Amino acid sequence: MAKIKKIITNSSKETIQVGIDLSQNLKKGSIVAFLGDLGSGKTTLIKGIVKALSEKKDINVNSPTFVYLNIYDAKTPIYHFDLYRIKDKNHFYSLGFEEYFSCAGICLIEWSENILDILPKDTIFIKMTHQKENQREIEITNTF
Ligand SMILES: Nc1ncnc2c1ncn2[C@@H]1O[C@H](COP(=O)(O)OP(=O)(O)OP(=O)(O)O)[C@@H](O)[C@H]1O
Ligand SMILES: [Mg+2]
């Protein structure tokens, strides 16, 4: 059964903390699909995950909008996708990216709206909504 958890944050620092907390539940093969508009806080939450799991403390985390994928060094490698410019699943397949779903890393996927129908069954979904200037709602649907 999927569990749904809703969290409201009132600063980017609080959203980073949600990422740090969530990182404890991630392991080899985990796939986290982010949903939500521009500026809703997807990369901010990912900063928390990477900060908690990475071996390098000063790692730079940004949306890989033009290159689609950033890879961060960690005990379990982290694959950070931004699919804003990926048109559809065929475009995704043509770049060979589905291989990452079955590799020994953690996949964090911004703009997963563009490949929704090919995400594996045990994907964790994080839907982010801009509520007020510094307020975001974070809805986590998981199968932990
Ligand atoms: N509660 C909050 N949680 C997260 N970010 C917040 C919050 N309040 C304000 N912000 C600000 O909102 C912006 C969120 O930007 P971020 O890059 O994380 O969004 P994004 O969803 O990744 O956007 P994009 O689709 O363009 O990649 C940042 O400038 C951040 O400082
Ligand atoms: Mg982003």
Going by pLDDT thresholds of 50, 70 and 90, the confidence category of residue 1 is: low
Ligand 1 lined by 90 (C-beta under 6 Å): no
Give residue 85 CA to ligand 2 midpoint distance, Å. 12
CA pair distance 98, 100, nearest whole angstrom: 5
Ligand 1 lined by 141 (C-beta under 6 Å): no
- Taking only the tens place, the pLDDT of each residue in 37-58 is 999 999 999 999 999 999 887 8
- Taking only the tens place, the pLDDT of each residue in 61-100 is 999 988 999 999 999 999 999 999 999 999 999 999 999 9
Ligand 1 lined by 112 (C-beta under 6 Å): no
* CATH T-level topology, domain 3-142: Rossmann fold (3.40.50)
- pTM recorded for the entire structure: 0.96
Residue ranges of domains in the chain: 3-142
N-term to C-term CA, the chain:
9
- Which among 75, 70, 74, 21 has a CA at the least distance from the CA of 43? 70
